[in-house]
Amino acid sequence: MRVAALLSCLVLALVPVAGAAVPSGYYPHTTGTRWTYSSGETQEVGKPALYRGVRVVPVAHQYGSTVYTQDLLEYRADGSVWLRGVNAGGRVNWYTPPLNVYPPGPLVPGQTWSSASGTLKSASTVRGAEPLRVGSVSYNALVIRTVLTSGGRQSTQLTYFVPTVGVVRYQTADGSQIDLVK
């Protein structure tokens, strides 16, 4: 599986104060929710399903009407989000153990988390909050730096996450930006 495809699952406004109640939908996953990005990719949340005895929420990654991959995400009662598997071309790569995409919210600057499954490792840090303008919309986004290691190769990405909205910008190691357009 491509590291870039795994990073794009980090799908997901004001930054809540530490200790504040976590708003409903902090990590959005309502069936039918769609995000369209400047790369032409659309991500869409599907209906929850049972897979290998685990309730997962599929998130399709598509260009036009063609779905290329589908992340199988588990939203746990504690508020954490886990990548259980990726469906690519009808073939599911199931992660045992799963990868922790997000810990329970609210996220706070300085917070770190990591996980590993086989040779795939993920380490994330909330670098802080930053005002960000994407198109005509202004956000106060949490900046999350994620380092993925797969087969000895590393890839770093910045994700600009807005609670209850999702990811509004991705920035790759080479500085390329992908913005939310709708």
Domains and CATH numbers, the chain: 3-179 (2.40.360)
pLDDT in tens, 27-58: 999 999 999 999 999 999 999 999 999 999 99
pLDDT in tens, 155-177: 999 999 999 999 999 998 888 99
Q: What pTM value is reported for the model?
A: 0.85
Residues whose CB falls within 8 Å of the CB of residue 143, separated by 6 or more in sequence, listed in order = 126, 127, 128, 129, 130, 158, 159, 160
Closest CA to 68 of 141, 17, 157, 4: 4
Q: Kindly write down the DSSP assignment for every residue of 12-76, as one continuous string.
A: ---PPPTTSPPPTTSS---TT-EEEBTTSEEEEE---EEETTEEEEEEEEEETTEEEEEEEEEE-
